Amino acid sequence: MAAAVVTATVRNGALRGTSGNGALSFKGIPYGDTTAGANRFKAPQPVRDWTGERDATRYGALSPQINTGMSEPIFGWYNQREPQGEDCLVLNVFTPDLDTQAKRPVMFYIHGGGYINGGGGGAGLDGSNLARYGDVVVVTINHRLNAFGYTNLSHLDPENFGDASNAGNLDIVAALEWVRDNIAVFGGDRSSVTVFGQSGGGSKIMTLLAMPKAQGLFHRAISMSGAAGLNVDPAADMEPYVNALIKELGVDPKDLAALQQIPAQVVLDARSRAVASSFEGARPVIDGKHIVTRPMTPEGLAMHAKVPLMMGSTKTEASLFFQSDMRNFNLEEKQTRARLRTAYKIGDAKVDAIMSAYRKASPEMTPSDILVAVASDVQFRLPLTGAAEVRSGAAGQAPVYMYNFGWTIPWENGVLGSPHAVDIPFAFGTVNEAGAMTGGGDAAMETSMNMMSAFVSFARTGNPNNDRMPEWRPYDSDTRTTMLINETCEAASDWRGDGLREVSDLKIDPFNRAALYQYHD
């Protein structure tokens, strides 16, 4: 049965969307002009008006990227098959109806994939179920990524290419401005916008908190596994990578306009070669203009003091990265100990303390369980918890809430536990579409409704408490409350705190990740 056609008119023209699954959807709506040619490496340009009805029934182009999906079939819900292209500044809107007086909360999702790949479409990110369940308006977006979104050219030509370093984030700001100007058409409230995003999307949210141009465009923020955005580095740190990229492309540093005419795939290939010699690659930077500080510095805290914040991670984030070799999940004690010593450059006494701290809370943990827990905590939970400590300890700040998502996926008898990205379909209410991973069934749906209820309540009021969960107190250094989200939920105090404190000083060399994640006897 064909979906019913619906129409809506925004500032730039009329749109033709569809009705189905209890909600209306409008896809591939442009919020900025093409980024090709003379617009490449520039701030996003305004949308051009169109005549007639624009087809908004299909997702738009993905930003040029190297890899658009996960390798395992269980992540099929995440994969997107839209074509790539530089006319990629598009967004999608899902709403219960077009009542312009409804003033529904707006939930604005920023996709993951680090800063190098991903998109706002696919079965898992269909916002229809969340819009219907929560009586909210859901927006998902595409924006520039990789070399096209985050290439710091300011040290070579600040006058003409001073916006290139954070172009991807400027795209997100432009999308938020579009929401401000148009969302009432879809029943949304421009004064109640919650940004939420997973992994790279959560990290981009952290950087938005420190962008003056983004201030006032959103009012609440949820960062799902977005730890990387807490440590934005100065623009100068990206100069070696950019210099290597320019060299790979054979462009005269004094004639950067030539970069705008090189085929996109050639740029992507050169970026891959440049990263091999300069690990940093493309990501946002503190340029003093668009991103002015790290989010949890005193200056950053002042910028987002009035924005309630929710942050969280999955229970076994890092299991996804160990999954390339399944032997990683059946390690002997001596193998885990050796891996910890080598990856984190620590001695036996420290390894003893770490193993003991994790087993104090969970005596049943196997050597592999501990390795996954340490990697998950060091890369994700520790930075996010540290941010919560800073935010909650500063005067005059809106509350911060912490969660840990614990649904165990049944694949391979649950060996991955709750891996990185598992929480996305639960937040969107798309567990049936992601059934190959989630397992489906009543328990999965209950977990999804728990998560959606918390996110919707937070989007509506800045407080995630709802009648499906026990009391959820804001995080503070005394109680360290974390909501453990699953089929049933628990408000835990200082969850696994001993283990977290024991690994609080661990660091890993980016060039030495193989010592942690690759199997070896």
Instruction: Give the Cα separation of 52 and 15 in Å (integer).
Output: 8
Instruction: Check if 317 is active-site.
Output: yes
Q: Residues 165, 235: contact at Cβ < 8 Å?
A: yes
Instruction: Check if 332 is active-site.
Output: no
Instruction: Give the Cα separation of 307 and 440 in Å (integer).
Output: 35
Residues of 293-307 as b/e, b for ≥16 C-beta within 10 angstroms? bbbbeeebbebbeeb
3-state secondary structure of 363: coil
Instruction: Check if 199 is active-site.
Output: yes
- Of 108, 112, 15, the residue nearest 55 (C-alpha): 15
Instruction: Out of 63, 165, 199, 223, pick the active-site residue.
Output: 199
Residues of 249-271 as b/e, b for ≥16 C-beta within 10 angstroms? bebeeeebeebeeeebeebbebb
In 96-214 the beta strands, taken as DSSP E runs, fall at 104-110, 137-141, 188-198
Residue 492 β-bridge partners: 482
Instruction: Out of 239, 248, 317, 502, pick the active-site residue.
Output: 317
Tokens of 392: 């909650």
H-type helices in 135-257, by residue range?
146-149, 158-161, 167-182, 200-208, 239-249
Contacts of 287 (CB under 8 A, 6+ apart): 152, 154, 162, 165, 166, 235
Contacts of 349 (CB under 8 A, 6+ apart): none
Beta-carbon count within 10 A of 22 CB: 11
Q: Residues 229, 253: contact at Cβ < 8 Å?
A: no
**For the CA atoms of the chain, what is the radius of gyration?**
22
Tokens of 357: 């701290």
Helix (H) or strand (E) holding 341: helix 333-344
Instruction: Out of 203, 368, 420, 457, pick the active-site residue.
Output: 420
In 208-341 the beta strands, taken as DSSP E runs, fall at 220-224, 233-234, 285-286, 309-314
Residues with catalytic annotation?
199, 317, 420
